[in-house]
Chain A
């Protein structure tokens, strides 16, 4: 009984861990070229948005003076825009590389 259960378990384990190697489908990869950089920028963007909201909350709850808030806020927005520019640059490159030329434009084999 124990031997049978062990064999069943072994077969199940081989099926689970072997499936990606045997599959003909290309594994689903969320991170393509520049994916890691994009994910990192997206995290930085979310953190920056949160920081902008936090600064606003700090100001409106009296922890920041108006002058300090304006200085901090404009600095944060500039940083956020830099992140967004970097993200858009990656997006642009990605779209170019993903460009599939129509059949007519493909060189003859």
Chain B
């Protein structure tokens, strides 16, 4: 069915071209039917790309190696679970996933806003279709997912072993959903500027999608960190890798936007800032895609170089130029309606938060693109490493966490010093109690930044806890409800406020995990033979015995490894057994006959299968790199390569079994990487809390539902006037 896939792409490009023209003609001429036809092009595009994606997915599941992309990233031995995910492991498949998700999200957004923002959404439709056309054009002219080879090879290369991890099933779709959803506010922001309608309506209409983009990006980032921690053999969750950074930057500017849009909603201020943040977030999302797909910067994520650099650079250049032009040319309608009433107000805290977030983004941008910048200026590519990033981002992160505790206890518009003093008392007490406890426990030695982070987090927990306590008490005083019911009612009636507070708690918890695990980690890289032990922090790790399995069916990690060599480790503390770990390394078929009839079966990339004992207080993490280059094992391999023909892989597997038995009989010393990290689990728990808070904040509030119903009716009457008057029931906190 590759013909159907190719036809879908051509049809999709035609639909985009027509839709752009119809939308622009409709909005410029006032012919609403053309705008409507343009919007329907987005729905049609979603249908066409769904068919195209289904064609490719079926090709992967049926191992149809006549598709080049299937042959390059899948194989008959790739487990079915990973065959389904292999679609987005390839350049071509990920482009299709991007365009497909963009069409789905765009359809949803345009459907939900179909009765509002007529002119703005017509421009936004044209812009969204323009982005879709760009990606479809790449698939037609540069990297088609439906290219075929005849005759088809008997087997494929197989999925990159590093990608054979459960989170890889959902990490890219989540990240790409975040990226594509970032394009939605960008399209609506540009649409608002083009239509010269930059007031509260477009902000209100796009807030929920901006929050969804932020949420999906956040989930994608967390899943990526989890993959890095549990799959890559270095034991970290964040390495300031270029592609990691690329996903973090739009998340940071998106966070800034979600805060500053409240100021525009309430005060009509920061219009230039907000629209600039939206445009920057969308542009950074495109740059993130560019980094992954172009191979311009070396990264563990950039799966091979490509020819997509030039089109992406052109797109990014056009985006930046158009953004600057639109903001500059519309500055007359972007003037603020009010000024800050007081420096001691929540608006000021949000402004400070925005400055820090954008500062963080700038630091990460500079560090990420430094190799390109230095090469352009000096001709030599130089890069900066984690210490450089840590030097600037750690202090900024501290300020950010502190601000997330200050914001909730300051009132909008103005706050008096006396009130501020009273409101800061409990959070400050929490921070001081934590500081005293840490000093008493002797934990403070040499780790001032980690201690500062713990205190800031305690400050946040104190400030948000105080908000919940006071709000619940207030609710109880008016309704007489039991505390849990009062708490639930409080959150239900003020989802944005209290959902946001939950997010702040999650961020504080997450940073506690980061600070503790990076500052108080014990790590050891050493060679051990069976029976030998080593100390890692307070734990003793003993290499009990080696393990070996041959054939992908016996692969404990279910990743399709031809052979796995590992170890059983006994972990104890003060003579008491704590855990048994079984790290291993998987060896994969390279598909390269030059490596020998048996050698190629394990000649592919060797991938570490991490084993850990995870808990709420600490993780004991282990990885192994077994040595199969000893003369004895190489002799076995050499004989097998000489005597077994390439066409007898079954005999090759028997030879591997002999090799594994020899390894078990006299195991050479293996290289181990052992880490004991405190509180790592709180990073993932913090992420889940952030997710929960974001869902609470995004969920439509009962009042918002009523408001949207009133907006649909479109009647303004005495009822509303009374609502603003003295009778307005403000006690319904």
Q: Which residues in A have some Cβ–Cβ distance to B below 8 Å?
A: 1-3, 5-6, 9-10, 12-13, 16-21, 23, 27, 29-31, 35-36, 38-40, 42-65, 68, 71-72, 77, 80-81, 84, 87-88, 90-91
Alpha-carbon gap, A13 to B15, bound state (A): 8
Partner of A9, one of B48, B119, B200: B48
Contact yes or no, B733 A60, CB < 8 A:
yes
Q: Given A39-B711, A44-B199, A49-B723, is A54 in contact with B412 using a C-beta cutoff of 8 Å?
A: yes
Contact yes or no, B15 A17, CB < 8 A:
yes
Q: Which chain A residues border B51 with CB–CB below 8 Å? A: 5, 9
Contact yes or no, A84 B720, CB < 8 A:
yes
A91: min CB distance to chain B, Å? 5
Q: Given A13-B11, A65-B416, is A47 in contact with B266 using a C-beta cutoff of 8 Å?
A: yes
Majority secondary structure, A binding face: helix
B100: min CB distance to chain A, Å? 15
Q: Given A77-B724, A88-B716, is A5 in contact with B4 using a C-beta cutoff of 8 Å?
A: yes
Q: Which chain B residues border A31 with CB–CB below 8 Å? A: 115-116, 118
Alpha-carbon gap, A58 to B452, bound state (A): 29
Contact yes or no, A36 B118, CB < 8 A:
yes
Known contacts A43-B203, A44-B199, A91-B717; 12 additional CB pairs below 8 A are A5-B4, A13-B47, A17-B22, A17-B41, A36-B119, A49-B723, A51-B412, A53-B730, A57-B497, A60-B733, A71-B414, A81-B721
Contact yes or no, B40 A19, CB < 8 A:
yes
Among B4, B32, B200, B728, the most chain A Cβ lie within 10 Å of the Cβ of: B200
Q: Which chain A residues border B410 with CB–CB below 8 Å? A: 63
Partner of A38, one of B7, B413, B714: B714
Number of interface residues of B (CB under 8 A): 72
Q: Given A38-B714, A57-B471, A68-B415, is A16 in contact with B43 using a C-beta cutoff of 8 Å?
A: yes
Q: Which chain A residues border B15 with CB–CB below 8 Å? A: 13, 17
Closest A-B pairs by Cβ, 4 of them: A30-B115, A80-B724, A63-B411, A56-B730
Question: Is B540 at the interface (CB under 8 A from chain A)?
Answer: no
Alpha-carbon gap, A54 to B703, bound state (A): 14
> Which one, B351-359, B418-426, B616-624, B677-685, is touching chain A?
B418-426
Q: Which residues in B have some Cβ–Cβ distance to A below 8 Å?
A: 1, 3-4, 7-8, 11, 15, 18-19, 22, 32-34, 36-37, 40-41, 43-44, 47-48, 51, 115-119, 197, 199-201, 203-204, 265-266, 409-416, 418-419, 422-423, 467, 470-471, 474, 494, 497, 704, 707, 710-712, 714-717, 720-721, 723-725, 728, 730-733
Q: Which chain B residues border A58 with CB–CB below 8 Å? A: 411-412
Q: Which chain A residues border B33 with CB–CB below 8 Å? A: 20-21, 23, 27
Alpha-carbon gap, A39 to B716, bound state (A): 11
Contact yes or no, A64 B419, CB < 8 A:
yes
Q: Which chain A residues border B1 with CB–CB below 8 Å? A: 1-2
Contact yes or no, B714 A68, CB < 8 A:
no
Contact yes or no, A43 B204, CB < 8 A:
yes
Alpha-carbon gap, A3 to B467, bound state (A): 63
B45: min CB distance to chain A, Å? 9
Contact yes or no, B474 A55, CB < 8 A:
no
A12: min CB distance to chain B, Å? 7
A45: min CB distance to chain B, Å? 7
B111: min CB distance to chain A, Å? 13
Alpha-carbon gap, A3 to B725, bound state (A): 66
Contact yes or no, A20 B724, CB < 8 A:
no
Contact yes or no, B724 A49, CB < 8 A:
yes
Contact yes or no, A13 B48, CB < 8 A:
yes
Q: Which chain B residues border A48 with CB–CB below 8 Å? A: 724
Q: Which chain B residues border A81 with CB–CB below 8 Å? A: 721, 724-725
Contact yes or no, B3 A62, CB < 8 A:
no
Contact yes or no, A6 B7, CB < 8 A:
yes
Partner of B494, one of A12, A57, A65: A57
Contact yes or no, B728 A52, CB < 8 A:
yes
Q: Given A13-B44, A38-B714, is A21 in contact with B37 using a C-beta cutoff of 8 Å?
A: yes
Q: Which chain A residues border B704 with CB–CB below 8 Å? A: 46
Alpha-carbon gap, A5 to B728, bound state (A): 60
Contact yes or no, A55 B412, CB < 8 A:
yes
Contact yes or no, A2 B37, CB < 8 A:
no
Q: Which chain A residues border B723 with CB–CB below 8 Å? A: 49
Contact yes or no, A84 B724, CB < 8 A:
yes
Interface CB pairs A-B, < 8 A, 19: A2-B1, A3-B3, A5-B51, A9-B8, A13-B44, A20-B37, A21-B33, A27-B36, A38-B716, A40-B200, A43-B199, A44-B199, A47-B200, A49-B707, A51-B266, A53-B494, A62-B419, A63-B419, A64-B414
Q: Which chain A residues border B720 with CB–CB below 8 Å? A: 45, 84, 87
B234: min CB distance to chain A, Å? 46
Q: Which chain A residues border B48 with CB–CB below 8 Å? A: 9, 13
Alpha-carbon gap, A68 to B414, bound state (A): 7
Q: Given A5-B4, A18-B37, A61-B467, is A55 in contact with B411 using a C-beta cutoff of 8 Å?
A: yes
